[in-house]
Amino acid sequence: MPDRKRALWAVAEQTRGKLASVTPEVLGQARRLAAEAGGCEVAAILLGKDVGALANDLLACGADKVFLVEDPALELYQNDTYGTVLHRLIRREQPEVVLFGATAVGEELAPTVAARLGTGLGAHCTNLALAPDGLLTMGVLGFGGRLHTEMFCPDRRPQMASVKPGMFPPLPREEGNGEILREEASALLSGADIRIRTVRIVKEEPEGMPLEDADVIVAGGWGIGGKENWRLLTELARELSGATGCTRPALDEGWTDGEHTMIGTSGKTVRPKVYLGFGISGSPHHTVGIKDAGVIISINSDPRAPVFECSDYCVEADFRKILPLLLSEIRRAKVPA
């Protein structure tokens, strides 16, 4: 077995030849960690079919080298096949740290690989630090964001973590001359390893603009009180060409259409230019997801609402009086004089 390398690996995620937005974020953080530790190699691992063109994108996003594994069996993500390839590649190369994005794919793939390697995994990390001796500190939020916990994996290697999307900004793209290593898939994957067959693919696109793409986000919480009032939020978001977000209680009550609209530790981290929050108390579980918003405007009838502590503009009022007036004024302003 080769000696363990002072190397940080980032597992790239792609769908139909397009990199997931979390991948440049993970690579950027790997680059920063490498600098913290006094310099070490940063590599990306890219799996798929006919995805070689993305290797140069990964180099531009911060990778020193890219391990490229292309095979028809890797066209679609499947836990068995991807997990087997990564397990064998990591076993062979012995990197010090392996990072994943904490996406739907990463949340399944990372623990699978960690279990096969017999090592630990820090999941949904919001903070990472790498000491010169190679020990990785993995920070996560717990108990609804009220507690920041640091985890370590001192006795097993590699150290593995999944990174919450939106927490770390990607580095500016910089075209480089890194190395692309094409791996033979047959050496890492056999027919016996492929136990799942894809029968049919059904793709359902969520309605509305994705939160991560919106310059304006209109969000609501438990204080909205019901689905009828929620309709006003969606109308406001539509008038502002924005997206509608929510807190966990609003999602659990069924006022919004899916987890893709939730903001916070168990949802998305967003960076809109303007964030408007209605009826949101402001628990750390939610506010950690909006900390990088440009301007935060909060409307709440409780003068002691914690959300006011992290807001740029605070409106102490019943949202039912504010929302209809705001909608009316916006629509009036759009009418040509």
* Pairing label, strands 127-130, 136-142: antiparallel
Chain centre to alpha carbon of residue 42 = 20
- Band (pLDDT 50/70/90 cuts) for residue 290 is confident
Q: Which residue has the higher pLDDT, 277 or 259?
A: 277
Point out which residues pair with 5 in neighbouring strands.
95
Q: What is the pLDDT of residue 2?
A: 39
Percent helix, strand and coil across the chain, each rounded to 5? 35, 25, 40
Mean pLDDT (whole number) for 66-87: 88
The residue type of 282 is: G
pLDDT surpassing 70 at residue 205: no
Measured between alpha carbons, how far is 25 from 85 in angstroms, rounded to an integer? 23
Q: What is the pLDDT of residue 90?
A: 92
pLDDT surpassing 60 at residue 144: no
The alpha carbons of the chain give a radius of gyration, in whole angstroms, of 22
Q: What is the pLDDT of residue 143?
A: 54
Measured between alpha carbons, how far is 89 from 66 in angstroms, rounded to an integer? 12
Give me 119's structure tokens.
């090592």
Q: What is the pLDDT of residue 258?
A: 78
Q: Give exposure, 134-161, as e/b (b: 16+ Cβ within 10 Å).
A: eebbbbbbeeebeeeeebebeeebbbbb
Domains annotated for the chain, with CATH where assigned, are 5-193 (3.40.50.620), 211-334 (3.40.50.1220)
In terms of pTM, does the model score above 0.85?
no
**147-197 pLDDT, tens per residue?**
677 888 888 899 999 988 878 888 888 876 788 999 888 888 777 677 777
Q: What is the pLDDT of residue 212?
A: 81
Measured between alpha carbons, how far is 57 from 30 in angstroms, rounded to an integer? 15
